[in-house]
């Protein structure tokens, strides 16, 4: 599962156009998109005065191992003009590896890969689009269902279908 988002325009256009182009690029690079959520408009987390994000989630099929898949996502971000500056900064493209099947990779100091994504269960901008794609998804570490994770979301996280 891959989460995608943007809140700044890119050379491809507005955030929705950028995200559509990024998904096409992932397919060109060998990923097979099995399902894609609708686009969601989401308030930045933490709340700030930056533009709202357009977010979504897609399920993919790939022979890539998690490390190689994460490297591919970062390469596509860079190709689209993503510059990693401050945490939670506005961005032209954000691609996050949420899960790789039921594989669990604990966080390691200095290592970028952690599966499932460590904040996946705390973010409306991930959980609501994930419900579009995999409503029966279960967190591989906690055993929590997607619906129970959504029910525990803070009320101040705003997300609406685009």
Element of type H or E holding 19: helix 15-28
24, 91, 102, 131: the active-site residue: 91
Phi and psi, residue 13, nearest 5°: 125, -155
Contacts of 55 (CB under 8 A, 6+ apart): 3, 4, 5, 39, 40, 41, 42, 125, 126, 129, 159
3-state helix, strand, coil in the chain (%, to 5): 30, 20, 50
24, 36, 38, 96: the active-site residue: 96
Q: How many CA atoms lie within 13 A of 130 on its CB side?
A: 25
Active site annotation includes 91:
yes
Report the alpha-carbon distance of residue 65 to residue 109 in Å, rounded: 20
Report the alpha-carbon distance of residue 91 to residue 144 in Å, rounded: 30
Active site annotation includes 144:
no
25, 36, 94, 123: the active-site residue: 94
Beta strand residue intervals within 65-158, DSSP E = 94-97
82, 102, 144, 152: the active-site residue: 82
Active-site amino acid positions: 82, 91, 94, 96
């Amino acid at each position: 599962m891959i989460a995608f988002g943007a809140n700044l325009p890119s050379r491809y256009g507005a955030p929705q156009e950028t995200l559509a182009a990024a998904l096409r690029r992932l397919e060109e690079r060998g990923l097979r998109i099995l399902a894609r959520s609708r686009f969601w408009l989401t308030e930045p987390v933490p709340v700030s005065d930056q533009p709202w994000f357009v977010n979504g989630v897609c399920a993919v099929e790939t022979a890539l191992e998690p490390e190689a898949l994460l490297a591919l996502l970062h390469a596509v971000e860079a190709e689209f003009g993503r510059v990693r500056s401050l945490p939670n900064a506005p961005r032209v493209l954000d691609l996050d590896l949420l899960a790789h099947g039921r594989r669990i990779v604990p966080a390691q100091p200095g290592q970028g890969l952690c599966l499932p994504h460590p904040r996946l269960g705390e973010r409306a901008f991930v959980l609501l689009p994930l419900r579009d794609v995999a409503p029966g998804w279960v967190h591989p570490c906690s055993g929590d269902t997607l619906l129970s994770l959504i029910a525990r979301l803070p009320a101040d996280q705003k997300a609406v279908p685009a």
